[in-house]
Amino acid sequence: MASPRPRIESQELVHRTCPLCEAKCGISVEVDRSLQRIVTVRGDDGDAFSQGYLCPKAYGLKGLHEDPDRLRRPLRREGSSWREIGWEEAFELATRGLRSIRDAHGADAVATYLGNPNAHDVGSALYLPTFQRALGTRWRFSATSVDQLPKAMSSCLMFGSPGAFPIPDVDRTDFWLVLGANPLVSNGSLMTAPDMPRRLAQLRARGGRLVVVDPRHTETARIADQHLFIRPGTDAFFLFALVHVLFAEGLLALGRLAGFTRGVDEVRAMAADFSPEAVAPITGIAPESLRGLARAFARAPRAACYGRIGTCTQEFGTLASWLVDVVNTLTGNLDRVGGVLWPRPATSPADERPRRRGRIPYARWRSRVRGLPEFAGELPVAALAEDIDSAAETERIRALVTVAGNPVLSTPNGARLAKALSSLEFMVSIDIYLNETTRFADLVLPPTGPLEHANYDLVFHSLSVRNHTKWSPAVFDPPADSKHQWQILLELAAGMSGTTAKALDDLLLGHLLSATVGAPQTACPELSPDEARRKLGASPGPDRVIDLMLRAGPFGDRFRDDAPGLSLAKLKAQPHGVDLGPMEPRLPMMLATESGEIELAHPLLRADTERLRGALAERRKAPAMLLIGRRHLRSNNTWMHNLPSLAKGPERCTLLVHPDDAKRIGLSDGGRARVKSRVGSIEAPVVVTPEMMPGVVSLPHGFGHDCEGMRLEVARTRPGVNSNLLADERLLDVLSGNAVLNGIPVDVSVAG
């Protein structure tokens, strides 16, 4: 490790990581202590990972910290108004309300919905499992099933673990094939890589190629060597045809992967019907372009295929997500430097023993109305509304806890969900805003703001394109009488299980200790759990848990104070984080499949391929107009439109329409369109642009801030429309249950 730098503590500059998106940029926050205000937010040039990069959202942290609408005290509903209450009363009311439903109707009458910001908060990452266990419900929902669920499932089927996402090695690849992602705007997802503009410029400067497959000529497509328009929802056809060509032209090169990969012949057979000619009328991509791409990818010394939101939130999302890694495997680019690899986080187990091999956690229970399958302990959120409003009286969901989620705007058929939420007997929201979703709660429990608590990026260190570790200090002390997210979760868990928060916290630590120290197979066999516990200290909360994970991890000091290696104390002395080197190959050690090998053709994927084959004929029919989404650099899902520095500028909630479509329909630039789907109808201003593929229109999600009963005074002035009023809860990636949010059939007409 580098020598410790002096710690900047009570001075005006605090270095930490931006908590807002997956890129995890290091920021330097300049603070005026006397006013308890942020002067400015800058990129941290010294950051070991991001080296000064920043996007405009980081400055929004100032607005977020100061936002008068951000909740600071628990709120209790009283009819149509709200009253601030103390924490003790809030915990008492929450526990009593949830317990009474559980006692009368069973644990499964209470559901949970966890939103995206949980992934960015160490308190949630560590304590949500405790909270969920205390509630005891199997009716768990989250933003996963409107996001990466298909990739989690394909990773589980292929590699044995839902979290085993291979990460594209953007900094060393020679050829990057990107499907359904726009990293120049999103700053990357399932790929933590701050400063995508620099990384992509370097890729091209070293002679590498960037190819983007997307129904929109996106910001990323604009700087690519090649862009292919693809019809939404057809990536699985396209990728199968790529695989078809790899086999047909003898382009396979599994290399060392051949020693531990099963199912290559099955994949060959599965791909047989998906020739470039067979899929071209469906995807809109010419056979020769596809063949050229297959050859170029296979011949590149190091290539990486990567798919994100566009490939997940579609009808064949799991197949598309799987095929991305089939392409990587067949060309020998899986687990190869410059291909796709697995990071090695500092908090991961130190030993590279083969992982526990288990059965796939799939369909162990099913949602009530439609029987949608559980995966990895949760159900598809597309089933939430109907399991509230249409399940049998004896088994419907009667209470809901949301934690950092806004499903009314972020999940399909938001109108139906809003109605269902209003019919609940009891609802608690752990959230910092009174918004489209939390306005239905009986109690809103706001945790401290992101700059008022320390953080460790447990999730994103394990998705990073380079191994590194960093601890983020709080910028401000928490206000008097406030609670951190982990404290709220522990208090509620304690209330539900009739114990104390301290007892639950000690229990969690005890479990981790017995897995990491004091036994022959552990990282610290010589050290007793009691001794380790003493060294970790008695302060409750995330710090000592992270300390344990770091010290017992692959880069840890193993609790020897004089030894080199990481501990939380040493990490805290490194305000810019610590670089831990590039990603390195980790197979076959980290495979956790039952066979211990890569499962290239799992039976569930073989079965779903039959569904795809069935769609071959049907998809050639004249298609409807299809709706897709998009993101904007100054926007983050549903919840940052209340921050003045981000909300300003031109109207963003617009419908992009290709000139040919506009002409046919009679739409004009600046005019208004009506968009209708099976479940809803909205109006939006039109932008006519050739960046759209003909037959495809684009509307961003996350808007629609004109509901009654919210406290979002800035967002309300330019509400936009909720695109998920159009998303149809019946349209799913059947295998995983993930919602289709891209490629929704719609009617577009002139509004008025």
Which chain residues interact with ligand SF4 by CB under 6 A? 18, 20-21, 23-25, 54-55, 57-58, 187, 194
Looking at residue 56, the DSSP 8-state letter turns out to be: G
How is residue 700 written in tokens? 């961003």
Select from Mo ion, ligand SF4, ligand MGD, none the partner in contact with residue 553, using the beta carbon and a kind-dependent cut-off of 5 to 8 Å. none
In the complex with ligand SF4, the residue whose CB is nearer, 472 or 698, is 472
What x/- string results for residues 660 through 689 when contact with ligand MGD is judged by CB under 6 A? Answer: ------------------------------
The residues in 628-647 that bind ligand MGD, with binding defined as CB under 6 A, are 628-633, 635-639
Count CB-CB contacts under 10 A for residue 510: 12
How far apart CA 630 and CA 626 sit, in angstroms, is 13
What are the structure tokens assigned to 598, written together?
């890569």
Dihedral pair phi/psi, residue 467, rounded to 5°: -70, 130
- Is the Cβ–Cβ distance between 634 and 665 less than 8 Å? no
Beta strand 81-84 pairing with 75-78: antiparallel
Q: In 595-695, at which residue ranges do the beta strands (DSSP E only) sit?
A: 598-599, 625-628, 655-657, 672-676, 681-688
The closest of 395, 372, 398 to 383, measured between CA atoms, is 372
Element (H, E) at 29: strand 26-32
| Least CB distance to ligand MGD at residue 56 (A) | 9
Residue among 312, 413, 403, 309 at smallest CA distance from 722? 413
Site residues for ligand MGD, window 595-634 (CB under 6 A)?
628-633
Full 3-state SS string of 260-274: HEECHHHHHHHHCCC
Q: Where are the alpha helices (DSSP H) in 208-316?
A: 219-222, 235-248, 264-271, 276-283, 287-299, 309-312
Smaller CB separation from Mo ion, 132 or 187 = 187
**Gap between the Cα atoms of 536 and 510, Å rounded:** 12
**For ligand MGD, the closer CB: 57 or 468:** 57
Beta sheet of 13-17, edge-to-edge order? 13-17, 26-32, 37-43
Smallest gap from Cβ 138 to Mo ion, in A, equals 23
Binding to ligand MGD by residue 574, rule CB under 6 A? no
Nearer to ligand SF4, 175 or 460 (CB): 460
Q: Which does 591 bind (CB under 5 to 8 A by kind): ligand SF4, ligand MGD, Mo ion, none?
A: none
From the CB of 664, what's the least distance to Mo ion, in Å?
A: 34
Q: What residues numbered 473-492 form the site for ligand MGD, per CB under 6 A?
A: 485
Range 443-472, binding ligand MGD (CB under 6 A): 447, 450
Nearer to ligand MGD (CB atom), residue 532 or residue 627: 627
Asked if 737 touches ligand MGD (CB under 6 A), the answer is no
State which residue, 147 or 219, has the beta carbon closest to Mo ion: 147
24 binds, among ligand SF4, ligand MGD, Mo ion, none (CB under 5 to 8 A by kind): ligand SF4
The 3-class SS string of 157-191 reads: HHHCCCCCCCEECCCCCCEEEEECCCHHHHCCCCC
Nearest to 616 by CA among 396, 299, 319: 319
Minimum distance from residue 152 beta carbon to Mo ion (Å): 12
Closer residue to ligand MGD in complex, CB, 524/675? 675
What residues between 421 and 440 interact with Mo ion by CB under 5 A? none
The DSSP string of 564-613 is SSB-HHHHHT-TT-EEEEE----TTTT--STTSSEETT-HHHHHHHHHHH
Confirm or reject binding of residue 22 to Mo ion (CB under 5 A).
no
Residue ranges in 324-383 that form contacts with ligand MGD under rule CB under 6 A? none
Write down the least CB distance from residue 308 to ligand SF4, Å: 15
**Binding test (CB under 5 A) with Mo ion, winner from 67, 121, 147, 219:** 147
Q: Site size for ligand MGD, by CB under 6 A?
A: 64
Residues that bind ligand MGD (CB under 6 A): 21-22, 115-117, 121, 143, 146-147, 179-183, 185-187, 189, 213-216, 218, 230, 232-233, 235, 308-311, 314, 403-407, 410, 430-433, 435, 447, 450, 485, 628-633, 635-639, 701, 723-724, 727, 741-743
Binding site for Mo ion (CB under 5 A): 147
